[in-house]
Structure 1
Amino acid sequence: MDYYKNIKAWPFVEAKKLLEKIDNIEGDNPIIFETGYGPSGLPHIGTFGEVVRTIMVKNAFEKLTNNLRKTKLICFSDDMDALRKVPDNIPNQDKISKHLGKPLTEVPDPFGEYASFGEHNNNKLKSFLDEFGFDYEFISSTNYYKSGLFNNTLIEILNNHEKIRDIVKPILRSERRETYSPFLPICPDTGQVFQVKIDNVDVDSKKIFYVNPVTNKPAETEILNGNAKLQWRADWAMRWKALSIHYEMSGKDLIDSVRISSQICRVINGTPPEGFTYELFLDENGEKISKSRGNGLSIDEWLHYGSQESLSLFMYQSPRKAKRLYFDVIPKNMDEYASHLKNYTKIKSNDDQSVYDNPVWHIHNGKPPEKFPEIQFSLLLNIVSATNSESKEVLWGFLNSYYDSLTLNENRDAIDNMIGFAINYFNHFVKPNKQYRQANQSEEVALRELLEILNKFEGVTDPEIIQTEIYRIGKEHKFEPLRDWFSSIYEILLGQKDGPRFGSFVLIYGIENTKKLIKDALAGNLVVSS
């Protein structure tokens, strides 16, 4: 492991912590990584992010151990949890509201596709994970409870009932302290999960005793085989032991719960897993994203406007920093992925450890593609913006006029996907907000000089030559700061606040097309057309 000690990438830092903790574990049993998912609403991108990040740690661990330790990823669904609130973003809400309080696998699917709402959401998540090619074992809480696979650990919870109550009670409000029990009986008549005071427990008969809130009569329930479930902190601890979990990360909002669940796990003679606390994703308004509210950004939505790799890069970067998760982060992550991949191809042949600090190693599990399109997504987006075209063929025409056929053919599928993403993004987010403006007097003088200079660039293939001249014009016309000159170009010619390196734009869009764009802007045609 000394060979990797200087690697600063956070998945390696986490993997080294885990290895130090379990290094003395003997035998051939796999090291188990877990992610948990509560299917009370449609899976959001935060759920996906936890899986992606856990896989990155798992991959780093396998590298550290040279694959000498078996590993396994478990994706666990808490689908036996009760539906406490009808999500805002589902159909047939009146129908679903009649099943409040029942386990999610007993609530009808509002979409009419599966046997239950829980099964629908489970399959939605699995389809995303499969699309990314992840290797995982999916476990349903309902299946494990009802099949008896949790029975032995449930008995240990029952045997330590009062100790667990004493651990949890200090964090509860006063009215809940006296009624709290780790067990939630399930009504055999209504199927509802009861959150009631447990009056007594019988270790020998494996039963709990309470007053049925529907009939107001004394009732008893055996805790085994899915007749009862655990409150979630005890449930978390129970499955850590039952499934022999070695590593699980969680959000900043669960720090106290991790502490409580770890105490419970130790009480039942289990070992809490190594953990990692990540910050939460925020929506466009800076609020925490929620499955039940459906705010933020869905996985489907990101993949309509950007690549899988750009989404994985977003998840990799700064996991301990709260990040705004909205559509406007997609172009930046598309371009940054391409930049990281380009850097990786330069260093990978040198056996340089810096490959492990490059995000693409983690995104592709050490096997990034050898070829990459040297075309910025933001540049494509602005070609779409300048042409207002929804035709891939038209956009390919611009690329064919500048790039050599070998470069394009080697990356044809990736480039074609990028063009599709650019068209989708433009239509939904750029086009509705385009706002051209007329050039003021000083801007008009500078643009006329740019128009004149473009005549000298016929046959030029280096965008930096054009970029240098654009810089010169901005300086000579005393734009302060210089970025105001480029902002003027984007606002006047493209109707937006920012854009690509204009030298590259000119070469791909074409000298004559750019000249026409400037002439139309100076004549006021673009302001009229917008």
Structure 2
Amino acid sequence: MVLNMEKIFWCDKLVDEILEREEKLEEKSDVFITESGLGASGIPHIGSAGDCVRAYMIFLALKDRGLKSKYYAVSDDRDGLRKVPIGFPKNLEESIGHPVSNIDDPFGCHRSYGEHMSSLLMDGMEKIGVEFEFISSDDLYKKGVMDKEIKEILKNHEKAGEIIKRETLQERYTEQYPFFVICENCGKIYTTRITDFHNDKVEYVCDESFLGKNSETGEEIRVKGCGYRGETSIRNGKLQWKVEFAARWKALKINFEAFGKDILDSVKVNDAICREMLNFEPPVHALYELFVEKSGERISKSKGNVFTPQVWLDYGSPESMRLLMLKRLNYTRVVNLFEIPKHMDEVDRLANVYFGEEEISNERERAHLKRLYEYVCLLKPPEEKPLTVSHYTLIDICNVIPKKIKNRYEIIKNILLRTKLLPKDFDESELKKRIEYATNFVEDVGKTKREKIELTSLEKKALSIFKEKLTEDMSAEEIQTLIFETAKENEIKPRDFFKTIYRVILGVDQGPRAGSLIKIIGVERIKEIISEYR
């Protein structure tokens, strides 16, 4: 039986669900639209990029089926600022409660704080190959794109409140309108409440309060309304998140949006609002688990453990980062810098499977891995197998061959060729990029925890003797001779002792002339490495 690769990967299965949803619709989709939100109130982290990558992959999967598709990246830039992120000026505390699109950029490079934050994520998206149509929520409200949906929700706010209560057990919106006005006096958004709605206008009072926070100091900040009463347009505010997604989905005719486990309740409410109030079948969803740091704590936009896409791309390829996002959705993933070499090697393994250099006996698993590789390559896999080389080994080699060494690239290339870790024909630019990633990792993060080489007591003894006799003033030829003599004195075949030297220093069985290599790396550094094998 020949397996259909387009039916075994989660992206392709979701396209089937999107097409099943389409059959229920009275008004058919001319264009299939996927969406993800861009948080604009805090520093965008790698989890934020995950939302974008998943939505983009469904966009690609739809196109792969011959369907017209678009991907919208929607910035939540009318949200109010609740927390000052770590590393931001303390005077930003004065803007807590204001829409992020109305706050000046504290760094002076963008029109607003919200635009600054959105630009960070857009930069990361572009670097990992995600193409998108940018939409500002602030513009959606200003231009009245969601007017019809807003009016329907405000007109029937009691019903919305009952749905919210049913789905979340929260009773607040059985008495209040699920809408925040931007106060025309103080400019804050979360301190207002609507007292009446009529003729497309809302009457409101700014008398609520909430707790903000400075994440740098940990200080909680009580933000209070100014007491102002007024009347304004529905375009001068925003829907509460328990109904906002629904309005946006209908107004933009969204077919798909993934979401994280942390907003599951919100999605349930918005799905119900779609069906019961807006006469719209909610988009197909994909529920995914969250990224956590090594300690098990969820990565946050406002805390100091922000792991941005740009950080990953200093040490790993766009393909490795896309793989992180595309593997199974339904389990929590630990994200730290030491995951990067692992994912670099996983991408190489997928390439080997795809091009038939690694045999996978299970047909279903083989088809799944090949389809995963196609998505990692944005459904444009290379015609020939790209360069693959153990990233862990490359890090080990870069760790012992300092950046300052003359002809460093040629030395590293020679080591890889002699150990047959490189094919005879390879792309020099690819190798240079891989060495750059590995070098950055060594310099900024440190050596990975490579398993120690298993040595016999005789090998350890010979290494110890070699280390004691090795001196700074020796020439490369004298070091080469010392290796031969030490092997013979300890009744070890010189060939085997040279192999031990290479394995201890580089983690591989062969390399350039050992005496020259040790001289290049430096006697002091070599002694440090050998000392680990006492």
TM (normalized to structure 1)? 0.80
Stretch moving more, 73-82 or 34-43: 34-43
Contact 1:392 1:419 in 2 (8 A): no
| 1:21 partnered with 2:21 | yes
| Structure 1 SS opposite 2:325 | helix
| 1:414 partnered with 2:430 | yes
1:222 maps to 233
Cα distance change, pair 413–157 in 1 and its aligned pair in 2 (3 A): same
| 1:246 partnered with 2:286 | no
Measure how far apart 1:242 and its partner are: 0.6
Cα distance change, pair 288–402 in 1 and its aligned pair in 2 (3 A): closer
| 1:77 partnered with 2:75 | yes
Cα distance change, pair 220–140 in 1 and its aligned pair in 2 (3 A): same
Of the candidates 289, 297, 306, which is equivalent to residue 307 of structure 2? 297
Give per-residue Cα distances to partners, 1:152-198, cap 9 Å, x unaligned.
22112222211101111356677835653211111112221044443
Cα distance change, pair 58–453 in 1 and its aligned pair in 2 (3 A): farther
2:272 maps to 263
1:366 maps to 379
Contact 2:164 2:171 in 1 (8 A): no
Cα distance change, pair 339–393 in 1 and its aligned pair in 2 (3 A): farther
2:245 maps to 236
Measure how far apart 1:8 and its partner are: 2.3
Contact 2:37 2:75 in 1 (8 A): yes
Measure how far apart 1:36 and its partner are: 0.9
CA distance in 2 between partners of 1:525 and 1:159 (Å):
74
Of the candidates 492, 499, 502, which is equivalent to residue 452 of structure 1? 492
Of the candidates 402, 410, 413, which is equivalent to residue 399 of structure 1? 413
CA distance in 2 between partners of 1:146 and 1:260 (Å):
25
Give ranges in structure 1 of 5+ residues lacking alignment: 459-465, 471-487, 495-499
2:292 maps to 282
Measure how far apart 1:400 and its partner are: 3.1
Cα distance change, pair 438–215 in 1 and its aligned pair in 2 (3 A): closer
CA distance in 1 between partners of 2:15 and 2:518 (Å):
55
Give per-residue Cα distances to partners, 1:419-449, cap 9 Å, x unaligned.
1111111122225999999989466259688
Cα distance change, pair 209–328 in 1 and its aligned pair in 2 (3 A): same
1:133 maps to 129
Give per-residue Cα distances to partners, 1:352-396, cap 9 Å, x unaligned.
995564222001132222232232111111112233445583143
CA distance in 2 between partners of 1:527 and 1:457 (Å):
13
CA distance in 1 between partners of 2:299 and 2:20 (Å):
34
| 1:30 partnered with 2:31 | yes
2:102 maps to 106
Contact 1:155 1:206 in 2 (8 A): no
Figure out how many residues of one structure are paired with residues of the other and give that number: 481
Q: How does 1:152-191 map to 2 (within 5 A)?
A: 152-170=148-166, 176=172, 179-191=175-187
Q: How does 1:429-468 map to 2 (within 5 A)?
A: 429-430=445-446, 441=457, 444=460, 452-453=492-493, 455=495
Q: What residue identity is the alignment partner of 1:340?
A: L
Give per-residue Cα distances to partners, 1:286-328, cap 9 Å, x unaligned.
1000111141421111111111111111111222110110001
CA distance in 2 between partners of 1:133 and 1:429 (Å):
25
CA distance in 2 between partners of 1:392 and 1:378 (Å):
23
Contact 2:105 2:111 in 1 (8 A): yes
| Structure 2 SS opposite 1:410 | coil
CA distance in 1 between partners of 2:124 and 2:301 (Å):
16
Stretch moving more, 390-399 or 411-420: 390-399
CA distance in 1 between partners of 2:452 and 2:263 (Å):
47
Cα distance change, pair 11–178 in 1 and its aligned pair in 2 (3 A): closer
Cα distance change, pair 435–322 in 1 and its aligned pair in 2 (3 A): closer
CA distance in 1 between partners of 2:108 and 2:345 (Å):
39
Contact 2:76 2:137 in 1 (8 A): yes
Cα distance change, pair 287–394 in 1 and its aligned pair in 2 (3 A): same
Identical aligned residues as a percent = 30
Cα distance change, pair 145–12 in 1 and its aligned pair in 2 (3 A): same
CA distance in 1 between partners of 2:186 and 2:202 (Å):
19
CA distance in 2 between partners of 1:209 and 1:282 (Å):
40
CA distance in 1 between partners of 2:342 and 2:38 (Å):
28
CA distance in 2 between partners of 1:9 and 1:139 (Å):
29
2:92 maps to 96
Give ranges in structure 2 of 5+ residues lacking alignment: 209-224, 464-485
CA distance in 2 between partners of 1:9 and 1:451 (Å):
57
What value does the CA root-mean-square deviation take over the aligned residues? Answer: 3.9
From the two aligned structures, give the one with the greater helix fraction: 1
CA distance in 2 between partners of 1:441 and 1:3 (Å):
53
CA distance in 1 between partners of 2:328 and 2:433 (Å):
27
CA distance in 1 between partners of 2:456 and 2:496 (Å):
25
Q: What residue identity is the alignment partner of 2:260?
A: G
Contact 1:282 1:323 in 2 (8 A): yes
Measure how far apart 1:271 and its partner are: 1.6
| Structure 2 SS opposite 1:506 | coil
CA distance in 2 between partners of 1:314 and 1:190 (Å):
44
1:428 maps to 444
